Chain A
Amino acid sequence: MSIWEYANPKKFMQTSSWALPWVAGLALIALVTGLVWGFFFTPEDYKQGSTVKIIYLHVPSAMMAINIWVMMLVTSLVWLIRRHHVSALAAKAAAPVGMVMTLIALVTGAIWGQPMWGTWWEWDPRLTSFLILFLFYLGYMALWEAIDNPDTAADLTGVLCLVGSVFAVLSRYAVNFWNQGLHQGATLSMDKEENISDVYWYPLLLCIAGFILLFVTLVLIRTRTEIRARRLKALEARERMA
């Protein structure tokens, strides 16, 4: 048993069709419980009042926006080094999901920033690198579409993914590098003292888990679609040859 077994499209299709309903079910449960708990059963914050509840969309989506790019980086590297097609297709399938997560993080951030900071948008280091990450997602998707040969497309998008990782890392750590910005530091950290009290923390954990599971569900579905589309192309090509 090795993980590379799943590089075989047939094995991947089998395993994913078995796992999909479970992952999707868990995602639904975690998201619904987490969001309902967060929106309706948490007290008001001492400074922000009920505006604090947007945290249940903003933080998980921002985390996913960065982590999906990291996932795309890993799968792209696997493709570039080991040439497994499923890996490249998984990266391709993840990009639109990551793009939407980035958009959600930007929009909820603006809605949150307006009453709290007093502005929708500022050219703060963290906000700016997040916007660039969003543009990188768009460029990545466009590059996949722009190249006809699927192997060349996978190669070039893999390299683009490597370059974009700079901004994925920057949007995570910009607050630490340049501490004179508008956006506050990390609320959630494993090692530091507690910043967020437990009543907000548990539903937030559930929402984060829900977003991760939702992402896994969507990527599995989309990768399966990509594999099928490629099979179809192969069949059509064979048809033309005959």
Chain B
Amino acid sequence: MKSLKKKRRIQVLLVTALALVIATAMIGYAMRDGINFFRSPTQVAEEPPKPGETFRLGGLVEEGSLKRGESEVITFNVTDGGAVVPVRFAGVLPDLFGENQGMIGTGKMEGDVFVAEEILAKHDESYMPKEVVDALKEQGVYQDPNS
């Protein structure tokens, strides 16, 4: 860099920046399908996973579908507005897990049921004081940000 004139240094930097942008765009384009952290129920319905394949399923817990069975077993439906996948899970749930909340589960399909080994809760970007939400619910004007 030292031996180059200022104009040439700027040219070199511009070419470098351009090359980086192109490289990043190409990697991003090549991995556009592979970089998804989870699959949505619609994607699972369109492209069923291979038998025994472990994958992540993500979506909203359908309202009214959450059922607690014996001991720690729970069942619920995951939806993304399009398709619905029933899920079975035995284990400890994170704090934020609940109906109408986002979740991501790792597991396998057993027949039509997704058997999860691990469940993560997905959080959205809204923050509100508890008192405010309680007051809004009392007045009946509260709208769930997820619905």
Are A118 and B121 interface neighbours, CB within 8 A?
yes
Residues of B within 8 A of A151 (CB): 2
- Inter-chain CA distance A159–B94, complex, in Å, is 43
Are B120 and A122 interface neighbours, CB within 8 A?
yes
Closest A residue to B122 by beta carbon equals: A182
Closest A residue to B132 by beta carbon equals: A197
Interface residues of A in 35-51 (CB under 8 A from B): 42-49, 51
Closest B residue to A181 by beta carbon equals: B37
Let me know if B30 is at the binding interface, CB within 8 A.
Answer: no
Let me know if A119 is at the binding interface, CB within 8 A.
Answer: yes
Are A162 and B1 interface neighbours, CB within 8 A?
no
- Looking at B16-24, B46-54, B71-79, the stretch in contact with chain A turns out to be B16-24
Closest A residue to B98 by beta carbon equals: A47
Interface residues of B in 121-143 (CB under 8 A from A): 121-134
- Looking at A10-18, A136-144, A184-192, A213-221, the stretch in contact with chain B turns out to be A184-192
Residues of A within 8 A of B123 (CB): 47-48, 116-117, 184
Let me know if B26 is at the binding interface, CB within 8 A.
Answer: no
Are A45 and B13 interface neighbours, CB within 8 A?
no
Are B6 and A47 interface neighbours, CB within 8 A?
no
B residues sitting closer than 8 Å to A (CB atoms) are 1-2, 6, 9-10, 13, 16-17, 20, 24, 28, 35-40, 58, 92-97, 104, 118-134
A residues sitting closer than 8 Å to B (CB atoms) are 42-49, 51-52, 55, 77, 80-82, 115-119, 122-125, 151-152, 155, 159, 162-163, 165-166, 170, 177-178, 180-182, 184-187, 195-197, 199-200
